Amino acid sequence: MIPLNLYSVVKARRALSDLVVEDSIGTILMIYDADTFEVEFMSETGESLDVLTVSSADIVEFNLSE
């Protein structure tokens, strides 16, 4: 697995809030440690859905070819 970096684009592995559902796309805004990240999730139209603190188990790096 490729390490997640600041501003990496990620995908939610599961629903994380009422607005952030499985496969929602977000950007890492802050790295607290190797397992904890602050991520802003966005809608398909570019609107901010939620900013959440998540673990590496909650997200996976987004591959543009998906």
Write the CATH number for 56. 2.30.30
Please indicate, yes or no, if residue 2 is contained in any of the structural domains. Answer: no
Whether 48 maps to a domain, the answer reads yes
pLDDT digits (tens, 9 = 90+) for 3-57: 899 999 999 999 999 999 999 999 999 999 989 999 999 999 999 999 999 999 9
Residue-range definition of the domain harbouring residue 14: 9-61
Residue 21 lies in a domain: yes
Count of domains observed in the chain? 1
Structural domain contains residue 1: no
Say if 13 falls within a structural domain: yes
Q: Are strands 48-55 and 36-42 parallel, antiparallel or unpaired?
A: antiparallel
Distance of CA 46 to the CA centre of its chain: 14
Domain membership flag for residue 4: no
Torsion sign, CA atoms 13, 18, 30, 66: positive
Q: Is the pTM of this model over 0.75?
A: yes
Q: Six-digit token pair at 36? A: 């904890």
